[in-house]
């Protein structure tokens, strides 16, 4: 993002530290364990997983990594997940995405027991989210809500446009923002690759969320002057990390998330807070 911009930077680190303080307080009273299943050598995935492991250790959560070669079979992967589902010492688990092309992502994620699904991606948990009954939500969408609330950017009554309808970010975020809740009550437009005249919608957005997974894809001309822009993308280009939004967007936006240092820190913090929510739900059911 342009350093000359007067746009307000919405840094994720201060918000993440508040969340992690809550997690650490909970962990001081309860023993939690997070298990991470990692398949293959995908560079970004290895970076994300290393960060999750480090942050879990910092707050006192036991984190266990299960590595598999890229050619692992779906049967072998599901067998390990079933073992973790049955292990009482495992509070929650995640499968790091993306998976190699030969593995059926939906089938693998469906293998995770809903009550141990720390990413909130099991169909049962997404269904509860759609009904407004979920006890936890996917980490990145919830992190975005935490960010907006921290900086007192209210969604209520505002027009939020989300570019990207994936189940990791776009779809659950649209559900959350439309809920009758302190963080919601927004009018939400969900755009995607088949949306015609995309900028017709994005230029009307008070809050614009870009989650398309393409580096520097979204231009400044698609932004309403003064809008809040949340850039969910993170990509490595040479020795630097960049987002989905072009740097010139800083000249149009009123507030925006930097890359790196915006949404990223919140994803990990909210994942670990999800583990606390999982533990509370499991304790109530016993």
Point out the residues that are catalytic.
52, 96, 119
**Token reading at 19:** 């969340």
CA nearest 244: which of 231, 262, 254?
Answer: 231
Helix, strand, or coil here: 63? strand
**Residues for the chain: how many in total?**
286
b/e map of 38-76 (b: 16 or more CB within 10 Å)? bbbebeebeebbeebbebbeebebebbebebeeebeeee
Note the Cα 241 to chain centre separation in Å.
17
Q: What is the CA radius of gyration of the chain?
A: 19
């Amino acid at each position: 993002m342009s350093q000359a911009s007067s746009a307000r930077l919405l840094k994720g680190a201060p918000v993440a530290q508040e969340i992690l303080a809550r997690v650490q307080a909970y962990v001081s009273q309860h023993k939690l364990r997070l298990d991470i299943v990692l398949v293959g050598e995908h560079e970004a995935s290895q970076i994300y997983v290393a960060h999750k492991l480090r942050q879990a250790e910092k707050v006192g959560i036991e984190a266990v990594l299960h590595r598999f070669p890229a050619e692992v079979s779906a049967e072998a992967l599901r067998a390990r997940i079933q073992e973790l589902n049955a292990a009482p010492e495992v509070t929650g688990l995640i499968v790091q995405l993306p998976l190699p092309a030969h593995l059926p992502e939906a089938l693998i994620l469906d293998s995770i027991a809903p009550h141990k699904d720390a990413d909130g991606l099991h169909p049962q948990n997404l269904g509860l989210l759609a009904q407004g009954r979920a006890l936890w939500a996917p980490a990145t969408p919830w992190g975005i809500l935490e960010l907006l609330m921290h900086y007192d950017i209210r969604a209520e009554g505002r027009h939020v446009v989300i570019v990207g309808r994936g189940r990791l970010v776009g779809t659950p975020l649209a559900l959350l923002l439309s809920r009758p809740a302190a963080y919601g009550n927004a009018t939400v437009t969900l755009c995607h690759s088949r949306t015609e005249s995309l900028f017709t919608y994005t230029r009307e957005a008070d809050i614009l969320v870009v989650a398309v997974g393409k580096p520097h894809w979204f231009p400044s001309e698609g932004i309403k002057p003064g809008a809040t822009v949340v850039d969910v993308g993170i990509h490595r280009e040479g020795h630097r990390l960049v987002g989905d939004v072009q740097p010139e967007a800083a000249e149009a936006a009123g507030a925006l998330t930097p890359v790196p240092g915006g949404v990223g820190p919140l994803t990990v913090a909210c994942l670990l807070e999800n583990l606390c929510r999982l533990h509370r739900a499991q304790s109530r059911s016993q």
